[in-house]
Chain A
C-alpha cells in the first residue's frame, strides 16, 4: 500500500519501523511513574497541577523550567480575559460531525459540561476550542504518522462559546487511542484536547479530557504527571445516560473549573 509523503516509514505486518525503537518498556516507565507518585504522596508537595519536571514523559526533560516560578499578584491586563463573541464562532462549529459531505466513521457522542471559576460562578460567553484524533486514533496533522486511516468526513476540530450559565456542548466522534514514541508500546488513552479561557488571563488552560474505564489511563505518563490521584480524576468525564440521546449519540458530562489565581471564594463566604 502506498503512503505518499511517508516514504521510509513502512509499518506493515512483519516490517520494522525505520526509526530506532525507544529503549524503555512500559514496565520501566510504570516503575518510574509509581516512584514519583510515592514521592508526591510522601512529601505532601503534590498540587492539583502536573509536575513540569516529569521524566516518564521524555519530551519534558529539556522543556521544563528548573527555577521556581516567581510569585506575583496579577495586575492590569492579567486581571482580564480576552473577549470572544458570535462574530468569532459560528454555532455550527460545535458539531464536528457535519464539517464534510458524509458522516464520519465511529461512535457519535456528545460531550457537555459547565465552565466555572474558582467560586463556582459560570464562565459566560467564553471561547472553548477542542481538537482530537478520529475513531481510528489518527489526527489530521502532517506530523501524525500513525498508520490508521484518515477519515475524509472528520477533521477533529471544533469551537463554541459557553452560554450564560457556562455550558458548552460538542457533538463529535469518540476518539481512538493512538501509539506514540515515548517508550516501547506506548499508547495514549483516548482523549479530547480542550483549550479554555476564564474570566482572568491567569486562568488560561489547555488540558485533555479522558474517558471513564479506559485501562490506558493508568499507563500514561502525561496524565500521571498529576501525581495527586484525586486531581487526575478531574480529567475523566462521566458517562451520562441523560446526555445520551435515543438512536443518535452516547453522552458524556465533563465540568471544568478554572481558578487561575487560586483565590478561595472568601468574599462569598462572608455574604
Chain B
C-alpha cells in the first residue's frame, strides 16, 4: 500500500507537472506584489519564460522567496492576504500570454558577508514534469556583476556564460531576469541532493 507512510518508508513523493489548468486556483490578488509598487524602495523583478524554440511560455508559474532588505529571513504569514505593510518574502506570478512575469519586491540584503544576495526562484509549467529551482542574483551598486562572477561560490564554479544566466540585468526601475527552459542561453537550474 502506498497511501500510508511509516518510518521505514520515507521515499520522496514524486513531483508532477502543474498542468494547464492551475489558472483559477493558484494565482491570487496581490500574489506578485511582495511590496506595493509605489513604495520608495520597491524594485521590479521581471522577465520572460521561453522554450527550446525561443517561443514564450504562456502557461508557466514562477514563485520567488527571498530575504528582506537587511538580509533577514522573515517568518511572517500573510502572503495570501497582503496588508500592504508586512513583507513576507514570498510571491507568485503566472506568466501572461506573451510569457512575461513581473514581481514587485525589495532588493534582498546580504545573508552572509561572503555570499552574494539572491532571490530563490521556482519554475512550474505545463510540459515541465517537475519544478525547477534557480537563483536570480541582483547585481547593482556596491556589488557589480563582474565582481559577483568571481566572488560567489556558485557563480564562480560555473563557466562565465552559464553563470550569466543567473544574473538579473539592472534596469532603471529594477531587474530583468529571463528564464530559458531549453537551448541557447539555457538557465542554470539547481539540484540540492
Contacts and interface: CB of A to CB of B under 8 A. Distances in A.
A232 interface: yes
Interface string A50-80: 1110100101111111111111111111101
B7 interface: yes
A48 interface: yes
A88 B77 contact: yes
B12 A257 contact: yes
Q: Which of B25, B59, B115, B125 has the most CB of A within 10 A?
A: B25
Given A131-B21, A254-B3, A85 B15 contact: no
Given A63-B52, A73-B192, A202 B2 contact: no
A113 interface: yes
Given A66-B182, A114-B5, A232 B14 contact: yes
B131 to A, nearest CB: 6
B122 to A, nearest CB: 5
A213 B107 CA distance: 50
B3 A85 contact: no
B127 A238 contact: no
Contact of A60 (B78, B129, B183, B192): B129
Given A77-B73, A84-B80, A205 B112 contact: no
A140 B24 contact: yes
A37 interface: no
A124 B23 CA distance: 27
A155 B24 CA distance: 9
Contacts of A258: 12-13
Given A72-B191, A143-B23, A60 B3 contact: no
Interface in B100-136: 108, 111-112, 115, 118, 120, 122, 124-133
Interface string A9-27: 0000000000000000000
Contact of A70 (B18, B25, B67, B190): B190
Interface string B15-37: 11111111111100000000000
Given A157-B24, A237-B3, A50 B14 contact: yes
A238 B2 contact: yes
A88 B4 contact: no
A207 B12 CA distance: 11
A255 B4 contact: yes
A79 B126 CA distance: 27
A261 interface: yes
Contacts of A159: 80
A29 interface: no
B88 A83 contact: yes
B181 interface: yes
Given A88-B79, A144-B21, A193-B19, A118 B12 contact: yes
A182 to B, nearest CB: 10
A141 B59 CA distance: 12
Contacts of A223: 16
Interface in A239-261: 240, 252-261
A173 interface: no
Contacts of B26: 129, 131, 195
A72 B192 contact: yes
Contacts of A74: 192
Contacts of A240: 3
A48 B111 CA distance: 32
A63 B125 CA distance: 8
B127 A62 contact: yes
26 contacts: A49-B12, A49-B130, A50-B129, A61-B52, A62-B182, A63-B51, A63-B52, A63-B182, A71-B193, A83-B76, A88-B81, A114-B5, A116-B5, A131-B22, A133-B21, A142-B23, A143-B21, A156-B25, A201-B122, A205-B131, A223-B16, A234-B2, A235-B2, A237-B2, A237-B3, A255-B5
6 closest residue pairs by CB, A with B:
A238-B3, A85-B77, A59-B127, A131-B25, A82-B90, A69-B191
